[in-house]
Amino acid sequence: MAKKEAPKIQTERLVLRPRAEKDIPNMIKMLNDDEVREFLGINPPRDEYSMLEMVRNRTETKWAVTLKDTDEFIGDVMIPEIAEDYLGEIGYRFMREHWGCGFAYEAVSAVIEHSKSTLHLKRLSAKIDNKNLPSKKLIEKLGFTLVAVLPESHLQGRVADVAYYSRIV
């Protein structure tokens, strides 16, 4: 049986699609940027071999975010796990030069809609380092509500104060 991969989703300025080998140079650039990595934890790899494994590890809920006009990789959005076909946790990261352009809002909004219309999820959550103010602002703009701040909690392989957000899809 063929493994499922993320369907293509188009927005006004973006295409969300499965990761591809041609994305690896920009993935390496993004995940080796200290400002991008600051709140990601220890999980994101930095080397080409690991990026190739990420590209090959396609699932139906991991998208590369690319510019519609050029197909240039600028970030990714994912729902790494879904619990009981009910709850998904959303995550995203973008190349620093594309911060503040509304791309994250546009891409995550599209995945939220896909979560509702195609995956039929009922709720999405997001765990964010409590110091990551831009990400907290984005997720709140997307209709998520702060449920709790969990002091000294596990966040992607490190300890941080974690802001836990949730929203009905």
> What is the predicted pLDDT for the residue at 15?
98
Answer whether 52's CB lies under 8 Å from 21's CB. yes
Kindly tell me if the per-residue pLDDT of 72 is higher than 90. Answer: yes
- Average pLDDT of the segment spanning 50-79: 92
Reported as a single tens digit per residue, the pLDDT across 152-164 is 998 878 889 999 9
Choosing among 3.40.630.30, 3.20.20.140, 3.40.50.720, 3.30.450.20, the CATH entry for 9-126 is 3.40.630.30
**Which tokens belong to 133?**
């103010």
Kindly tell me if the per-residue pLDDT of 80 is higher than 90. Answer: no
